[in-house]
Amino acid sequence: MIFDRRSALFGAAACGMAQLFSKPSWAAIPERRLAFRNLHNSEHIDICYFSGGRFRRDGIAELNHFMRDWRTGEAIRMDTSLLDTLVHLQAATGADKRAYFTLISGYRSPKTNGRLHRNSTGVASKSQHMLGKAVDIRLKNIRLTNLHKAALSLRAGGVGYYPESNFVHVDTGRVRHW
């Protein structure tokens, strides 16, 4: 019951605060966009997923489809905090805003993850990939070591460094690294 009252009070306060900002103020919030190339199927995407102070359904839907399990075609709603983390990560590296991420792995279906886990010690049985909260990436023109350091500096979740496979794992789970 206390949780419900707090939630209601917080929601009312947030609505009240929103009225303090005019529509032009919301519109001034910078857009957020991401560009990707999929390593496995060569698909490319450059999409705005946030503008005018809100997430864009069309942009989120396109990113969800792009980050699907490329082995099965299954998709899930990706964590928008993960998307925002990638925007912050790009900024933290000093990369050109037009630089694209190479996506090695986004969403993984439980079937795919289970198969990969059985064949590799580097795949967690309860991977954040299955929740739409993780990506394995590279960033164009950014050294992998710099991408790794920038990801750690954000303290936004888990960060894995895989120099032998040439990618960095980023997730929005608890803060940890390996």
pLDDT at 9 over 70: no
Residues paired with 35 in a beta bridge: 46
pLDDT at 25 over 70: no
**135-160 pLDDT tens trace:** 999 999 999 999 999 999 999 999 99
Q: Give the sheet arrangement for strand 176-177, strand by strand.
A: 54-55, 44-51, 32-38, 101-105, 134-139, 167-171, 158-162, 176-177
pLDDT band at 68 (very low <50, low <70, confident <90, very high): very high
- How crowded is residue 48: how many other Cβ atoms within 10 Å of its Cβ? 13
**83-133 pLDDT tens trace:** 999 999 999 999 998 899 999 999 999 999 999 889 887 888 889 999 999
Backbone angle region of 161, left / alpha / beta, with phi > 0 → left and psi within -120 to 50 → alpha = beta
DSSP code per residue over the chain: -HHHHHHHHHHHHHHHHHTTS-HHHHHTSPPEEEEEEETTT--EEEEEEEETTEE-HHHHHHHHHHTS-TTT----PPPHHHHHHHHHHHHHHT--TTPPEEEEE----HHHHHHHHHH-TTS-TT-GGGGT-EEEEEETTS-HHHHHHHHHHHTSSEEEEETTTTEEEEESSSSEE-
Predicted pLDDT at 82: 98
Contact by Cβ (8 Å): 69, 43: no
Contact by Cβ (8 Å): 157, 174: yes
Model confidence, pTM = 0.82
Predicted pLDDT at 19: 52
Predicted pLDDT at 91: 96
